[in-house]
Amino acid sequence: MQSLLKQHHKLSNTEVHLSILSDYAAIGIPDFKEKLAEASLFPLKPTHLDILQVNMGKMCNQVCKHCHVDAGPDRKEIMTRETMEHCLRTLEKSDIQTVDLTGGAPEMNPDFRWFVERISELNRQIIVRCNLTIIVSNPKYHDLPEFYKEHKINIVSSLPHFTSNRTDAQRGEGVFDKSMRALKMLNEIGYGRDSDLKLDLVYNPTGAILPGDQVSLENEFKRRLWDRHNIAFNNLFTITNLPINRFLDYLLVSGNFESYMNELANAYNPVAAQGVMCRNTISVGWDGFLYDCDFNQMLDMKLEADKPHIADFDTKQLSKREIKVNNHCYGCTAGAGSSCGGATT
Amino acid sequence: MKETYYNREDLGKFGEITKFQKELGDKFFDYYASVFKEGALTKREKILIALGVAHAIQCPYCIDSCTSDSLKQGCDEEEMMEAIHVAGAIRGGATLIHGVQMMNQVKDKLM
Ligand code: SF4
Ligand code: SF4
């Protein structure tokens, strides 16, 4: 399977993307901005900046069907060391406590380890969104678990289901078995068992449905993974699929787009709207541009600033910005809410 | 549009039954929400029971919503089909147990 970009798919054009998402009248839902206004949340403003989420590149060893990044082996966009240095300067002069490394597969960036070591020296908490299969994909990655352990990295990994058929249907043939191997390697060195080695899993629904209750799903995942595979983990985060890139393509092709958007809008929860992650996070793109979140990044909606780039990071100015929203944001406010850390309510 | 007794969109209008009788409708929906809360049975177990019952009573609205809710709760295809087999087994058993009634009557009636 190729990325949408490689296929020259119409959705690889962000303007087409946005025109589909912005046509709320055709979809039959209210404009997201109106829903925020009803709860006195429009314009949406940041609270305190806690997390810098860094997208280290779109290269990935997988080509998952729901990927909002449109990542894959054919994507060559990768963050340079120079941009990473700007991120480090930003961290030095701010009180941001957490750095969340994502991609693609962030580990495929040749400067990944160098970057982690430098962030570690700054004593910040590091999250790596590891797709698990990268660990077993090539001998040069087999020692990643040890590297993560050395830097006390909080690993957050997608596992959409505890059965192989559901996981493979979303993430590709054989991904479930490889993920089980990687999870065992992580468990063996203490991840998911020792209190300072956190291993969290992410549940994304494997179709046009919203995630169910996070606690109940976590219990079920724990029971199934332990009983059948002897695997332990810490938390399960339920994350709603946002209608962007390959998941949007899936919705359109399967004829589920309108009904899914309506389901998201009907499940709008004003309490979840208060806790959306863009209020305490800033997302850095592979080329250093800044966004309110990783989703806006994929839609090329740069955040509101004179120079929205990591080289010109100005915490004070950014704290006053207006967060850019569109109808994809309904994905963050449906039901119990959704963020990179799971449900928000 | 072809007119049918059952329309998918009507499922979304379920809440409107309170328009004609608010008090009883509200009581029903409160009760319904309480029933499906995590209790001695998990939400997951409850939705699988509901899925089986939906098939036993053959309500297309219930089948639609219980299928979605089962998927949301992470149930897999095998579990969902087993829940329906449970319903089928009880339904089939209920039919067959009445065979004893038939047999009793046959005994009474025949020489
Ligand atoms: S979802 Fe994650 S693992 Fe899958 S293709 Fe996208 S970036 Fe790679
Ligand atoms: S999609 Fe991004 S901008 Fe919209 S609510 Fe979610 S985190 Fe905020």
What are A163's two structure tokens? Answer: 């059965």
d(CA A270, CA A152): 35
In a domain, B4, yes or no: no
The predicted pLDDT at position B8 comes to 87
Look up residue A229 and give its amino acid. Answer: H
CB contact under 8 A, A220 and B68: no
In a domain, B85, yes or no: yes
What are the average pLDDT values for consecutive 10-residue runs of chain A, which has 345 residues? Answer: 96 95 94 96 97 98 98 98 98 97 98 98 98 98 98 97 95 98 98 97 95 93 97 98 97 96 95 97 98 98 97 96 97 95 92
Ligand 1 centroid distance, CA of A40 (Å): 35
Going by C-alpha positions, the residue among A108, A156, A167, A160 that lies closest to residue A134 is A108
Residue B67: count other Cβ atoms within 10 Å of its Cβ: 17
The predicted pLDDT at position B2 comes to 64
3-state secondary structure of A309: strand
Give the number of whichever ligand sits closest to the CA of residue A280: 2
d(CA A90, CA A93): 5
Question: Is the distance from CB of A329 to CB of A275 less than 8 angstroms?
Answer: no
In a domain, A254, yes or no: yes
Q: Does B81 touch chain A (CB under 8 A)?
A: no
Label residues A143-179 b or e (16+ Cβ within 10 Å = b).
ebbebbbeeebbbbbbbbbbbeebbbbbbbeebbebb
In a domain, A6, yes or no: no
In a domain, B42, yes or no: yes
pLDDT in tens, B35-54: 999 999 999 999 999 999 99
Element (H, E) at B36: none
Nearest residue of chain A to residue B76 (CA atoms): A163
| Number of structural domains in chain A | 1
Question: Is the distance from CB of A107 to CB of A155 less than 8 angstroms?
Answer: no
| Number of structural domains in chain B | 1
Tell me the C-alpha to C-alpha distance, in Å, between residue A69 and each of A5, A57, A244, B93.
11, 10, 8, 52
In a domain, A21, yes or no: no
Which of A 90-149 lie inside 8 A of B, CB atoms?
A: none
Q: Which domain holds residue B47?
A: 38-110
d(CA B79, CA A239): 23
- Residue nearest to ligand 2 atom 8, measured at CA: A278
Ligand 2 centroid distance, CA of A332 (Å): 6
- Residue nearest to ligand 1 atom 7, measured at CA: A104
In a domain, B72, yes or no: yes
Q: Which domain holds residue A173?
A: 27-333
Question: Is the distance from CB of A128 to CB of A101 less than 8 angstroms?
Answer: yes
The predicted pLDDT at position A329 comes to 98
A225 contacts on B by Cβ (under 8 Å):
none
Please spell the DSSP secondary structure of A157-218, one letter per residue.
EE---SSHHHHHHHH-TTHHHHHHHHHHHHHHTTTTTSTTS-EEEEE--SSSS----HHHHH
A73 prior amide bond cis, ω within 30 = no
The predicted pLDDT at position B9 comes to 87
The predicted pLDDT at position B111 comes to 84
B1 has pLDDT over 80: no
Residue among B43, B76, B77 minimizing CB distance to A216 = B43
CATH number of the CATH domain containing A56: 3.20.20.70
ipTM for the complex shown: 0.71
The mean pLDDT of B3-21, rounded to a whole number, is: 92
* pTM reported for the whole predicted model: 0.90
The predicted pLDDT at position A117 comes to 98
A/B interface, count of CB pairs below 8 Å? 40
Tell me the C-alpha to C-alpha distance, in Å, between residue A13 and each of A213, B8, B106.
35, 34, 76
Question: Is the distance from CB of A227 to CB of A328 less than 8 angstroms?
Answer: no
CB contact under 8 A, A212 and B68: no
The predicted pLDDT at position A166 comes to 94
Residue among A165, A210, A220 minimizing CB distance to B74 = A220
Ligand 1 centroid distance, CA of A63 (Å): 6
CATH number of the CATH domain containing B61: 1.20.1290.10
Q: Does A258 touch chain B (CB under 8 A)?
A: no
B3 has pLDDT over 90: no
